[in-house]
Amino acid sequence: MNQNANPSPSGARSPARAYTRGAALPALLQQRILILDGAMGTMIQRYKLDEAAYRGERFKDYGRDIKGNNELLSITQPQIIREIHDKYLAAGADIIETNTFGATRVAQADYGMEALAAEMNLASAKLAREACDAFSTPDKPRFVAGAIGPTPKTASISPDVNDPGARNVTFDELRDTYYEQAKALLDAGCDLFLVETIFDTLNAKAALFALDELFEDTGERVPIMISGTVTDASGRILSGQTVEAFWNSLRHAKPLTFGLNCALGAALMRPYIAELAKLCDTYVSCYPNAGLPNPMSDTGFDETPDVTSGLLKEFAEAGLVNLAGGCCGTTPEHIAEIAKALAQVKPRAFPSQYRDAA
């Protein structure tokens, strides 16, 4: 049993934290299933931006192609990112993610824009903060999740099949890049952190270590959400762990939510969410892709909003989730249908072994 948890009114135990922000989230998660936003990249693609649009005036003479650097748009096209946030909030999202999935020095090295990482995070969090403040009401507060992606590099797996011991990034490099990102996000007003789309547990450990250092340095503590990605039907993340091993490797961080996103659509993700729902002594999250990739569809994925929302409703009615949303291929239309479908469904109760014995 989690000895650091306080009993909730319903008898379930939940992580006890003196949060400086996002303090309302644990109580809200006990009351209802919260809704996360959907895909940022899918929405950006709808704008059909060219190289010049990505560059804007500031980077018009930049010496490398930067189309596809979505995090840069928070600087060069902030009105687009704000509009996307607004659409997800209008659809019913309780939590929106900052446009910072790849806003780290490690990821931005692909574009030679490492020096802009902190600025990207500050700009992105400011946009999300302004959007949430505009939509928040006393009855429906909105929250900014500082999105922390996995980076394109892995600390656990060799990039060279002929040299199993080779690595293209170290733990300390990841920790430093995550600390810089998290500090900027916290400075700009995020309510919580979302360490997401984890394919390498060691990368995630570096992010969580950086967050712990940041909390120690600043004296602030905000909730942490953790979400991994099962890459195929083996039920393992890319670095080889089962979801049970993944949970046990990271539960020390006492996350507010723990779950899965991306890679698989909801139908294929179900057994792994069901496993976590039995294991976790915290709240369970699920934000799947809109099915499998389909280049012929409008979003690039198979599922329409009614299909994705129907699957997540079944998850909810089976008592598997506390927070739901969408990943690749999902849109404000998907989130609106998910919010509607889950509105009257009770959130997952904690497993009996984690209920207050009293």
What does the domain layout of the chain look like in residue ranges?
5-10+23-348
pLDDT-derived band at 298 (thresholds 50, 70, 90) equals confident
User: Is pLDDT of 9 > 60?
Assistant: no
List binding-site positions for Zn(2+).
262, 327-328
Task: Please give the class, per CATH, of domain 5-10+23-348.
Answer: alpha beta
| Separation between Cα atoms, residue 272 and residue 114, nearest integer Å | 36
43: part of which helix (H) or strand (E)?
Answer: helix 40-46
Over residues 93-149, the pLDDT tens digits come to: 999 999 999 999 999 999 999 999 999 999 999 999 999 999 999 999 999 999 999
pLDDT of residue 6: 37
Over residues 47-64, the pLDDT tens digits come to: 999 999 999 999 999 999
Q: Let me know how long the chain is.
A: 358
Query: How are beta strands 5-7 and 13-15 bridged, if at all?
Result: antiparallel
List binding-site positions.
262, 327-328
Strand order in 283-289's β-sheet?
Answer: 34-35, 323-324, 283-289, 257-265, 224-228, 192-198, 143-148, 95-97
Over residues 322-341, the pLDDT tens digits come to: 999 999 999 999 999 999 99
pTM comes to: 0.92
CB-based contacts of 67: which residues, under 8 Å, 6+ apart?
A: 49, 50, 51, 54
